[in-house]
Structure 1
């Protein structure tokens, strides 16, 4: 499978065009998944934890928890990576190596997703980060177009 083509097709399916805002992207992901999406910063989560962000699925919503960063772009990249997993339809339910006896109070698919994040060289992680970069570029492009409009037309 050509991951570049599948990422392009996944983004095209959002019907956002070549540039869009972060909020437009979040709305499109919610529409596609037919689920509420909440994004929450965890101030106590940081680099020392080895986790920048995580996507959790409950029965009624998607939840992206992300670490604090002094850089708004860095925080955005954390979230875009998780949105990329959603856009690409990554399913972290099928990892037979995730032990069931760890974290027994956390649902199985969430537990597997958390444990799998330690392996950042998987195809899914690389493709998600690549797509997150593309999404960030489109968001920057949108900001640049809007600022040029304001420069020209005030």
Structure 2
């Protein structure tokens, strides 16, 4: 992955924009539903695991096991923050970061003590992977949220133009017969 230096940030932005534009998003948007759709597309389960955030641990973590991907997220934060955490970790899957992540880390053992370390194949945590992957995941998550906000704005009915009623009286509405013409 290229570092976001001169021009690199622009390339990352374009790459992320293409990625997000190609995503199928649920309407209305729900992060858990979106992640379920992503799991279906990938043909592999993605388990959402709420955790109590501890001091000096990431608020989100992507853990890949032999049978599923697990997104751990802080349960004791706002709904908006949880949504962003979920999308950030899902963005790592979307961008393929999980394929180059290091093997299991101590963070997974602390946050998921019930999971045998031998089952954990890959872990992505904020202190484990490279800066460009972090930036890319953050950008994709933010672009998904921006796109859903724009889609919601576009779906809202627009208030009528102030002169619209007068124009409708003069010329009729599209579903009305032409003014001045009598129907047979």
TM-score, length-normalised on structure 2?
0.60
**Please, which runs of 5 or more residues in structure 1 have no aligned partner?**
none
Inter-partner Cα distance in structure 1 for 2:128 and 2:101: 15
Q: Given that residues 20 and 142 in structure 1 are in contact (C-alpha distance below 8 angstroms), is that contact kept between their aligned partners in structure 2?
A: no
Give the C-alpha shift of residue 107 in structure 1. Answer: 4.7
Q: 1:74 maps to what in 2? A: 81
- Structure with higher Rg: it is 2
| Aligned partner of residue 56 in structure 1, secondary structure | strand
Inter-partner Cα distance in structure 1 for 2:68 and 2:56: 25
Moved more, 65-74 or 119-128: 119-128
Counterpart pick for 2:17 among 5, 8, 19: 8
Q: Deviation digits for residues 46-87 of structure 1, max 9, x if unmatched? A: 4x1331011111222221111124411011111111011111
1:26 aligns with 2:35: yes
Which protein is richer in helix relative to its size? Answer: 1
Counterpart pick for 2:132 among 117, 120, 123: 123
| Aligned partner of residue 110 in structure 1, secondary structure | strand
Count of matched residue pairs: 143
1:54 aligns with 2:66: no
RMSD (Å) for aligned C-alpha atoms: 3.6
1:45 aligns with 2:53: yes
TM-score, length-normalised on structure 1?
0.70
